[in-house]
Every structure is written in structure tokens, then in C-alpha cells.
Structure 1
Amino acid sequence: MTYNFLTVEPLTLDTVTAALAHCLSVQIQEVDAADEDTDQELRNWDALVHCEKATVEGDVSTYLDIYVQESVRTQPTERELASAVARTAGTPVVFHAEEILPSAYWLATEDGIVTRARVYESDGEETRYVIDRVEAPVARLPHVTVGRIPEVVRELEIATPIADAFAAQLDRVSLEETGTAGTPFWMARSRLGAWEKLVRHMEASWAPSGWCPPDLYRERLDARDELDQVRRQLPPPVACLLQQALDPLDARFAELTADDTGGPLRKELPTAHPGSTASPTTPP
């Protein structure tokens, strides 16, 4: 398994070797760590763990490219190993998030916190990393802004089994129309998917993000409103299929929401449709 980490504090090869041996439950001699100054002829190419270390610039100091042989019994996830290395080496560890955004990262601290981080890479001759924002305070990064990172929530992979099944039914009716942007079939498929993502996200208490940006919440409410218009443009059999897909999602949404009695949601969404008075039981 391969891991790619950035550490805030600079690390020596000895520190890296000891940390990886401890975290992966292998002997120190089974870890081969090297940098640009290492004599390649002296390396242990049969080691169970290999690590290429490089010095980098910016808000981080060290880049680690780690490869763990399949024969190693301990095969942690990237999050688990990053957290373990942070604790063992005494430095925050930055690692890539699952989202496709190039700036989407996680940061694990030595005291056990794992938080979202927005990291930018410069395009200069030498790559420089800037930690632009974190969602929880990091003691070793007092200059970094603390705040929510909304763009990663939009990129979350949320399963939409009802919308997927509906899309498959549309494909059997007219694959071309379903795949052509702007057609009623395409609109029905895409808007249903957006609506189901909102319901599933609410159902999971906003996990793994822990929240939903108000503009995204509003956007997916609008998708539900648009489905009422799209349904009237569909052939009756397809409109019936759409309604069958909507019924369980609408019912679940109703279960998860409460009347916006005090108007807190309206304050977040000043342009909300007059009829959109439901707010999630867990605020976005």
C-alpha cells in the first residue's frame, strides 16, 4: 500500500524510520528510508517498508512517499497511519482527501485531532505548499485561518441508489435523451440525484462533513422544486416512475425536518422560496 504525507515539522531519516517501524509494527531494520543524499547502493531493497523523504517549502517541511509491502500484517488506512505518525513523530501530518479538488486535504495532529485542510501548491520552479485554512485550530499553525471549507462538501461521494435505479430505467426508454443535457429526461435524472444527495446527507447527520453549506442546501431544495416542473414534461409512464422515486425521498425528508418557526434557515437563505419553510433537525 502507498501513502503520501506532508509533515509540518522537518524530520530526520532516523525519526522517519523509527516512526514507521513503530506505527507498522515492524523491526527498524525492515524500514528503508532515504532522501536525496542517500547512497542508493546502501539501501535495503528487500525491506518491508520503503520511504522516500524530500524537503519541501512553505507551511510544511517534509514530504514522505511510503510503500508498505503486502506481507506486512499491519495495513492501516491513510488516515490511521497519518494519525499514528503524527503522534509518534510529534508533528502534524497532512494527507490527501478523497475529493477530486487538488486543494482538498486532511490534517492529523499529534494530539489526535483530524481536521479538514485547504492546501495550495505554487507553480514556481520549486513547489511551495501553503495551508490556507483548517476547520479546527492547530497549535503549530497559529497563522492559518480556522473556518469551514465549503467546496469539499459539494464533492462528497454520496450514494444515490434510488436515482441510479431511475436513471437505468430512463436509459432503457431513451438512452440518447437521458444523456443529452437539457432534455426532460436528463433534467429528471440530474435533479433527482441532487435531491437524493441532500436527503442521504441529512440522513447521515451530515457525515462525513459534519455540515452542509447553506447555498448547497438551497440548491438541492431548488432541484426538488424543478422536478415538479420536469414531471409535467415527461411521458406519463416516465412521470409515474419519477413520482415513485420521489415518494420515499420526500417522506424521508419530511421525517428529518422541522418547521422553520424562528426563521433561522431564512436568515441563512434570504432568497429561499416562500414555501421552503422546512429546516433540517441538524442545522446546516
Structure 2
Amino acid sequence: MDVSDESEVENRNWNATVTCEYEEMSGDVRWALTVYASEEVSPQPSEEALARALARELDVPVLFLGEGPLPPGVRQVATPEGQVTHARIGEPEADEEGATVEAVEIPVAGFPKAAVHKLPEIIRELRLSTPVTDSHVAPEAGGPLSRVYDLLVNWERLTVRMAQGWPPSHWYPASMYAEDLAFRDELTERVAALSGPQRVSAQRALGEVDAIYRGLTTDDGGRALAAAVSVPSAYSEGELPWYWRRRPVELPWGEDQAG
């Protein structure tokens, strides 16, 4: 194993099975480590497993990218206690200032100045499979079916989030939930405007996803959502569409409505 400063070139063991480059930094993130393992290392640890091990052995939080897509400025964090969460990183205005950890989803002792709240931006980056939609409607470049497909995907992803316990942070803001229902409003209009086989296929997909949504929710007249966010003014005095009247059995939002 070779452990060297990232600027070191002459005295390194280039034949090492594992190499680690380190660089001292300023700000909330004091060190950067880059670990390489040759093919001889088997099994190859995942980035998360390596981050967990480093956090435990070094007794410091370790920031890492992980395998899933994350929005710019967001990293996963492994803590010495074995937890994994997300952090929002603020880029320095000047090179000598260093990066700051602006927010974390759970308290992390290594970042005492960071705000503690959920990060809604990571939810939109999560790609969830939509087997019902994909079995009935093919994505189309342009044309009326293209928008219908996108709306069906969004609607089905809401049901997948519910069924999977609201990944990746077991939380979903009420504002995004209301946004999904507004897109469901648009979906009704868009499907009705289709004709022929396209309309039949879209209606089948919509009917199946609606049935899944009904099975995962309960009718409370829309009270839980209305207590958290404002419903569209068009519905304030009229009859709520059936899906606006329903709520998840376990509410994914709470006092923390960041974003």
C-alpha cells in the first residue's frame, strides 16, 4: 500500500496494490483522500463501504459521491457512528477560504455549524423505474404523447416512492406532493386530447397507476395536505378531484418543510 501527498511523484510505490493520495485543505473539509485499488483487490469495496470504514477508523465524517446521481454541491456523508446521510456543500468564494458544509440531513458532530434539515433537491435526482407506464406507452420525441409519457412517469414515480418508503431519505415535502397532484390534473387533460390507439394505451396505464395510488393512500378529504400547503385556488370552493382528497397512510412530510 502506498500513501502519499498528491504532489509526491518521485518517492511513490507505483507497484502498490492500493494507493491513497491525500491533500490538506481549508474550510470545513480539511482533507481530501483519493483511494485506488488494483484489480488484485477482491472483492472490490463499494464507495459507501469504504467511506463507512474510513469514518469508523479515522473517527471523522467522510464525504463521498456514492453510486447514485446527486445534484451539484450535494455529497453523501458517512459518520463514525455508522450512519449515512447527505450534506450540501458551499463552494468557497476565494481559493483560500475552503468549502463549507452548509446543511446536513441529520446532526453530524464533525460539522457543528451546518444547518440540520432535509435536502429536497436530492429527491428529484433519484431515478425510479416505472414498469406500468413503460409497458403501455413508449417515449416519443415531440408530439402530444411525449408530454403524456412524462406525466405518467411522474405519477407512477410518486406511487413507487410511497411503496418504497420515500427514498432516499424517508421523507417527501408536501410542496412536491402537491406539485405531483397538479401534474396529475394536467395528465387528465392531456390523455383526453389524445386519439385512437395512443389514447387507449395511455388510459390503460393511467388506470393501473391510479389503482396503485388508491391502494397506497386513504381518503381524508384533502385535509392533511391542505394543512401543510395551499391547494390550487380552482379547488378552494369546489369539489376536489379524488386524488387530491387522498393522502399517504403515513405522511412523508412533517415540521421540516425545507424547500
On whether the aligned pair clears a TM of 0.5, the verdict is: yes
Say which SS state the counterpart of residue 150 (structure 2) adopts. Answer: helix
Aligned to 2:22: 53
| Counterpart residue type for residue 109 of structure 2 | A
2:122 is equivalent to residue 152 of structure 1: yes
Give RMSD over aligned pairs: 1.9
2:211 is equivalent to residue 251 of structure 1: yes
| Counterpart residue type for residue 43 of structure 1 | R
Aligned to 2:141: 179
Aligned to 1:208: 168
2:165 is equivalent to residue 195 of structure 1: no
Within 1, Cα distance between the matches of 2:141 and 2:49? 40
2:55 is equivalent to residue 95 of structure 1: no
2:237 is equivalent to residue 277 of structure 1: no
Say which SS state the counterpart of residue 99 (structure 1) adopts. Answer: coil
Say which SS state the counterpart of residue 99 (structure 2) adopts. Answer: strand
Is contact 1:153-1:213 (8 Å) kept? no
In the TM superposition, what is the alpha-carbon distance from 1:99 to its structure 2 partner? 2.5
In the TM superposition, what is the alpha-carbon distance from 1:76 to its structure 2 partner? 1.5
Say which SS state the counterpart of residue 264 (structure 1) adopts. Answer: helix
In the TM superposition, what is the alpha-carbon distance from 1:167 to its structure 2 partner? 4.0
Gaps of 5+ in 1: 1-30, 172-177
In the TM superposition, what is the alpha-carbon distance from 1:196 to its structure 2 partner? 0.9
Within 1, Cα distance between the matches of 2:221 and 2:245? 8
Bigger drift between 220-229 and 146-155 goes to 220-229
Aligned to 2:11: 42
Within 1, Cα distance between the matches of 2:212 and 2:192? 23
Aligned to 1:107: 77
Within 2, Cα distance between the matches of 1:153 and 1:160? 16
Aligned to 2:50: 81
Within 1, Cα distance between the matches of 2:223 and 2:137? 36
Within 2, Cα distance between the matches of 1:186 and 1:74? 43
Say which SS state the counterpart of residue 193 (structure 2) adopts. Answer: coil
Within 1, Cα distance between the matches of 2:42 and 2:57? 19
Q: Once the two structures are superposed, what CA deviation does each residue of 1:207-251 show, in whole Å capped at 9, x if it has no partner?
A: 222111212111111222212111221112211101111122111
Gaps of 5+ in 2: 253-259
How many residue pairs are counted as aligned between the two chains?
A: 243
| Counterpart residue type for residue 132 of structure 1 | E
In the TM superposition, what is the alpha-carbon distance from 1:44 to its structure 2 partner? 1.1
| Counterpart residue type for residue 87 of structure 2 | A
Question: What percent of counterpart residues are identical?
Answer: 36
Is contact 1:94-1:106 (8 Å) kept? yes
In the TM superposition, what is the alpha-carbon distance from 1:261 to its structure 2 partner? 5.6
Runs ≥4 residues deviating over 6 A: none
Within 1, Cα distance between the matches of 2:226 and 2:195? 36
In the TM superposition, what is the alpha-carbon distance from 1:36 to its structure 2 partner? 4.5
Is contact 1:203-1:256 (8 Å) kept? yes
Scaled by the length of structure 1, the TM-score of the pair is 0.80
| Counterpart residue type for residue 48 of structure 1 | T
Within 1, Cα distance between the matches of 2:151 and 2:191? 11
Within 2, Cα distance between the matches of 1:58 and 1:118? 14
Scaled by the length of structure 2, the TM-score of the pair is 0.87
Q: Once the two structures are superposed, what CA deviation does each residue of 1:129-164 show, in whole Å capped at 9, x if it has no partner?
A: 111100111122221110111111111111112223
Bigger drift between 55-64 and 97-106 goes to 97-106
Is contact 1:258-1:280 (8 Å) kept? yes
2:92 is equivalent to residue 134 of structure 1: no
